[in-house]
Structure 1
Amino acid sequence: MKHIVAVYGTLKRGYSNHHLLDKACYIGPDTLTSLTLYDLGPYPGALAKPSTGVSVEVYAINGPLLAMLDELEGYDPGADKASLYQRRKIQTRHGLAWVYLYNRPVRSRQRIADGSW
């Protein structure tokens, strides 16, 4: 396992895409006050904006799994600015971790005030 990722939506335990993390190593939870969460309908999106905190789960994953997550999140490393999400490093209590940040306007989207989707 060479990558650390912080997830906040459908990849969390109990949600529809968590099965992708079945072989990942769960490190622990965190609350990130450097993110703000928005309701996008079938999934949430986070922006790098201060808030009271977004609940995340932190995992250690390998390179092939990171590529699978990139595909799930609509992130293309070769077209970062055009991607649905952008992958960025963010500080967690478990160290630096990749997080997927929503890359579209959120003007008409509801902010999730409690930070948990």
Structure 2
Amino acid sequence: MEKLFVYGTLRKGQKRHKLIEKFRFLGFVRVCGFDMYDFGAYPGVVAGKGIIYGEVYEVSNAFIDWLDYIEGLRLGLFRRTFCEVELEQGDRINAHVYVYSFPINNAKLIKDGDWIKYLNQKEVL
């Protein structure tokens, strides 16, 4: 089994969460050293100076391989790497994360690094 950090559409309450919900939820986490951007239907993260928030799951190797296809690794849209995540209780673990690989261009920076909070604020406006 592998640890996977998710920060966007795979999170609880989001449109693609059903793909991951059968796996063991390990907790809510934060990750330092990334900036998050809004690409319309989904967010992407790149190396940066910010903090991003999400969830970590324990998933199968087969799921990771399948998700590589879904996330567009073969097209170069994202790349999978490891990052250190900090769980709410302070424990730190390493997890896979999908990092955006294309140019950022005019994508909007999500300053607080939380996709769900960002979406909720957009709905209010």
The question of 1:92 aligning with 2:85 is answered yes
For 1:23, the equivalent position in structure 2 comes to: 22
Deviations 1:1-41 (A, max 9, x none): x1111000000000111111122110011111211100000
For 2:49, the equivalent position in structure 1 comes to: 50
Give the gaps of 5 or more residues in structure 1: 77-81
For 2:37, the equivalent position in structure 1 comes to: 38
- Following superposition, which runs of at least 4 residues in structure 1 exceed 6 angstroms of deviation? none
Give the gaps of 5 or more residues in structure 2: 87-91, 116-125
For 2:119, the equivalent position in structure 1 comes to: none
The percent identity for this pair of structures is: 32
Aligned length: 110
Q: Greater Rg, structure 1 or structure 2? A: 2
Q: Partner amino acid for 2:76? A: S
Q: Partner amino acid for 2:73? A: Y
Q: Distance in 1 between matches of 2:113 and 2:45?
A: 9
For 1:107, the equivalent position in structure 2 comes to: 105
Shift of 1:43: 0.3
> Normalising to structure 2: TM-score of the pair?
0.83
Q: Partner amino acid for 1:68? A: W
